[in-house]
Chains A and B, each alone.
Chain A
């Protein structure tokens, strides 16, 4: 078990360093930030002072090594526009995004598992047909478009829900549904196929032969076995939601990291873009590590192998 944990931890660290390299160099390949952070009519002296102030006059390798040292110490740089530490800005906007991702995940899970279960237990039945339609819709409908449609229908036409913002508890509903919808589709399909697979297994045939009732079968034998592959998918889903939230937060004016990233990119505030990307990558890698470890804990077969 220890070897398992150690190897996963090492993998995660290597991934993290790779991300730092990629982010650092990519952002610098896209052009000259000075021209974009300073107004068109600014004198050359102001541009130069600006470049020196931001450390853009040093060789690139030196800039990178300094950067890694800072990251390890928790310093992700200062936002060019807001002139304060990027980490502070990130933590101000972190909770709304986590809230949105959790809400989307909850929406997806609460609907996907029962639906997938019902579908798998009775292939080609009504529930199965519904599940397959939902699965298809989730894969094909873009979340951004769905969000705008939901606003027009539920906010403007019906006036049931708010059209934007994070004012009341009800404000979470439309953004969470828009964000979680594709996850819902994916989870339904996964749950359904896992259920089908489990149903073909020996231990289930034995249980059925023993005369165990179907509902009992579903909850005590099928579901626990479905849960394990689901956990790793949920981990991936969560990080995907963190990234996908950029569109949804933009559409719903949800004040989270998505809108922060969007405005940082627009302002070519590259330290902030770098900081957010690194942070999200860090969260993603950590969640992956966690689900890998959880997976290892839950499934004894993995630990032995």
Chain B
């Protein structure tokens, strides 16, 4: 009697204790938050695009060397005027629901993507027309030459099936998304998980290697780390440097690091509160750059896990050249002499805004900058504000003549941040310079990549002699990956491309 009860008890306990260990050949990826939507025009959060990229293909793909690779388009041509793009499409591709892929689907992708009910139709309205010339040729036209259009196409135009979308509508599509990607959608539990299985009919016959992918939502970074350690998940992202370092030497887990395409800076204003301040003199602004110990900040606050930012063009961006783009050295002597030259031998007082807790360790960074500058005689008063208030008014009207902020780019180029920060009239613009503005506009209409690269380099040099910012740092991102995972390398914009990942034992 007792032994039967005992055995029953053991079996019951054993079945209850089946641990959530990842099954063979299904990749389990942890997400730091629940994606709002798996239909890209309705979600811009990074976690959403991470999860969706597995379901869809775009026309082309931008690889780590910034080159365009064919995906659903096998060839393309840009017209002389820089306005028309003609694509030859891949044949024999089917969507997950069996619908064949034709040029009509590219048209449908554009039509539904531009819908006003979407959050981010801008990626699609960038094209003024999309025409199917025949079943496998499509012509896309932009109203003006647009430097980033190909990048937008490659990153954002996830091709959807026209017939299916017309049948179920966007709301229906969001419940059961269909694409041509290496994995197909199986199910989704709100706030918990998204399940996908391999698309056995994928047009690249050798891919995918995995049988399925499961995305698990785990908001807490230390829990993500614990989950990788126990083998319950294979990939954990958005880790702090401390957590990543705690995994040093841990069996079965590898720590990946890569540079984030994001620059942190102190911005100067020459409008609003910035008028009539010492900041009007470029020598003063250069002095502040020489007098900020960004290297000390990186060491002390980030344990060395960041790059000193050379400017707004960062490592990994189009046009970046290490030889031409070096960060300002820390040179307090030079800083002081520049200040004296400009007539501020005794220094001056100035206010600097800081978005409290807006970014990792930003409070400490703001204070460190103030401390650094006090050593060259510039007395900085740090004004902390909540992020809600900080960004609540155009031109950063709530802050003083200087303020701390950061800007990322997900197009592997500096253009979005240059436009956002330096084009007068833009919401977050606080510095007006006619030369910068015209150069940025020129870059924006230069369709040729190498031409643009040269222009970025020229602009960088100007922005160093006449700096609108104190360039601080470019952070490193940490991820913990199970040693069983092969072929996984995220790109600087924190994008995952899981089509060629495999699990080995």
Contact = CB atoms under 8 A, between A and B. Distances in A.
Interface residues of B, number: 43
B190 A92 contact: yes
A178 to B, nearest CB: 12
B229 A260 contact: no
A163 B226 contact: yes
B20 A168 contact: yes
B389 A31 contact: yes
Interface residues of A, number: 47
B131 interface: no
Interface stretch (A118-126, A261-269, A283-291): A261-269
Given A82-B36, A148-B222, A31 B16 contact: no
Contacts of A255: 189-192, 217
Interface stretch (A4-12, A151-159, A236-244): A151-159
A263 B388 contact: no
Contact of B120 (A32, A39, A169, A260): A39
Interface string A39-66: 1111010100000000000000000000
Given A162-B232, A163-B227, A253-B219, A39 B44 contact: yes
Interface stretch (B104-112, B420-428, B455-463): B420-428
B216 interface: yes
B500 interface: no
Contacts, number: 124
B145 to A, nearest CB: 19
Contacts of B416: 41
B419 interface: yes
B436 interface: no
A101 B201 CA distance: 46
Given A44-B427, A93-B190, A155-B226, A251 B220 contact: yes
B371 interface: no
A92 B34 CA distance: 14
A159 B189 CA distance: 26
Given A41-B419, A93-B191, A255-B191, A165 B20 contact: yes
A250 interface: yes
B17 A160 contact: yes
Given A32-B392, A164-B226, A263-B33, A250 B191 contact: no
Given A41-B419, A251-B223, 20 more contacts: A30-B386, A31-B392, A32-B392, A35-B393, A39-B120, A41-B416, A82-B36, A148-B220, A151-B226, A155-B230, A165-B20, A165-B218, A165-B232, A168-B17, A170-B16, A253-B216, A253-B217, A259-B34, A259-B217, A263-B33
